[in-house]
Structure 1
Amino acid sequence: MNIDYNKEVGKLIKAYRKLRKLTLEELAKKIYKSKSTLSKYENGQIQIDIDNLYLIADALDIRVDKLLYNDDQILISDESKNVPKFFKNLTEFYSYMYDGRVNKVIRSKLNILSKIDNNKYRIMMYMNYKDEKTYQVCENTYFGFIEHFDAKTNINLTNKDTHMEKAIIQILASFLNSETKWSLWTGFSSRPMMPISTKMLISKKSIEIDRNFENILKISNEDIRLLKLYNMFAVT
């Protein structure tokens, strides 16, 4: 597959510019370029040298690697016996959880990257993006690894910008195939600052978010019953 890296980088620049609510003219002034030149950067018409890439990243208040296209995905073959059925041939999947702090669904996209061991792969998670076409433009980016076992799959993550924030996603019975799986997200909230656990839906495909879907993701009466029964938050 031929990838036009200039266009891919340009798309990311444009997405971050809009996220920062900057016009073409405003960002052009910050990087000491003409509006026409910046437009050509965003459309992939001219190549950006490394100095200007750092200048743009600084103007957008992001790390320069946020503007780099990532094509490190691999296809996990059916020959990989240690990969459970749910994850067979997946290079990417989605997660959804309901955030009561802001009263909305938080959606994330996860990319499976290079193989570390027979049952272990590197992974990237892009949390709370607005546009799937530029999902790398998101609130939080995590790196880590996904590890498969007989009874469950673990995803261990570290926040790329705040390394003290660690998270784990535990997915039960990933050897059974289905379109979605319930999992337990255990992580850290920065506002307010506290450790948290909540249920998270894992899906092979992107799901349209509506009121019914929101209700499915909310803590239910059955969740509360199990919490009181075990004195633990459980997802089954």
Structure 2
Amino acid sequence: MKEVSIHVGKRIRLYRKMKNLTIETFAGMINKSKATVSKYENGDISIDIETLFSIADALDISVNQLVDYENPASLSETEGEALTKRKAGKTRYYLYFYDGRRGRIVKNIIEVQGVGENGIYNANFYADLEDYTNCYKCKFLYHGTMRKFDAFTNFNFENQNNKVEQVFMYAINSFTHNSRMVGMLSGLSTHPILPASFKFLLSPDIMEENEEMKEQLVFTKEDIKYIKKMNMFVINQHP
């Protein structure tokens, strides 16, 4: 299936670029020519299992992060089988937070794998996107897990270019029809590099970025009051 080779190739290019590796440098790391690496990344040729492990090792990631392809439901499936497969497919969430340094709402995508183990699902966090047309053009890439409980959903991510940074998210599960969640994101900020936390909105659908959204993402007088009273950052608002 050429679709698999294309998917794996896109993953290789994404992780290579996130680690600021040129094709020439990366080709030397896996003992391949530049032309061969280009063919891998374009999905023009399939990759044998030994080379796949060599690539993952050179990129300091697991093989699963390269081969997380999921086959679309076939036309021969029954309605019940198709429903089961949709539930097992990838789930995409759109995450928004407000960056006061740059005075703008930041677009992000979280992609969750459909098949989990013991309630834990693998997930990718594509951070700081210009738009949603291509999540591979993110400025930062994180890999980690999602775990959902009755009242909360939590995410635990690791920066794929800087293993020093871990990102933790807690979202308050929504019980409304729009399934939008509010939560807290904690990690390392850049410029300056310091521990930081943000309020965020999480939605299964793309949301309109407007003044109303901004008001939900910035710290309110109520937030400041809670911080002063309890000496901790508390999220207690629903979108």
User: Normalising by the residue count of structure 1, what TM-score does the alignment of the two structures yield?
Assistant: 0.66
Aligned-pair CA distance for 1:98 = 3.3
Asked if 2 retains the 8 angstrom alpha-carbon contact of 1:122 and 1:145, the reply is yes
> What is the identity, as a one-letter code, of the residue corresponding to 1:58?
D
- Provide structure 2 residue ranges, at least 5 long, that are not aligned to the other structure: 72-83
Q: CA deviation at 1:199?
A: 1.8
Equivalent residue number for residue 142 of structure 1: 144
Change (3 A) 1:127 1:23: closer
State the one-letter code of the partner of 1:157. F
**Once the two structures are aligned, what percentage of the paired residues are identical?**
29
Residue 141 of structure 2 aligns with an amino acid whose one-letter code is E
Letter in 2 for 1:180: R
8 Å CA contact 2:109–2:135 kept in 1: the answer is: no
C-alpha contact (below 8 Å) 2:126/2:135 kept by paired residues: no
| Alignment coverage as a number of residue pairs | 215
The question of whether the paired residues in 1 share the 8 Å contact of 2:123 and 2:144 is answered with yes
One-letter amino acid of the structure 2 residue matched with residue 69 of structure 1: D
| 1:43 Cα deviation after fit | 1.5
8 A Cα contact 2:14 2:136, kept in partner: yes
* Other structure's SS at 2:223 match: helix
C-alpha contact (below 8 Å) 2:7/2:69 kept by paired residues: no
Specify the alignment match of 2:205 in structure 1.
205
Alignment deviations for residues 97-147 of structure 1 (CA, whole Å, 9 cap, x no partner): 235688773623142523679xx6735241526474438994322213212
Larger mean CA deviation between 59-68 and 207-216 belongs to: 207-216
Task: Give TM-score scaled by structure 2 length.
Answer: 0.65
Structure-1 residue corresponding to 2:112:
111
Provide the residue aligned with 1:71 in structure 2.
Answer: 70
Q: Which residue of 1 aligns with 2:55?
A: 56
What corresponds to 1:234 in structure 2? 235
Q: Say whether the 8 Å CA contact 1:143–1:160 is kept in structure 2.
A: no
Structure 1 unpaired stretches of 5+: 78-88
Distance 1:65 1:146, change over 3 A: same
1:97–1:199: 8 Å Cα contact kept in structure 2? yes
1:48 to partner: Cα distance: 0.7
Find the residue that maps to 1:18 and give its secondary structure.
Answer: helix
Of 153, 157, 177, 1:159 maps to 157
Rate the CA distance shift 1:141–1:99 in 2: closer, same or farther, 3 A. farther
Residue in 2 that maps onto 1:47 = 46
**C-alpha displacement at 1:204, in angstroms?**
1.8
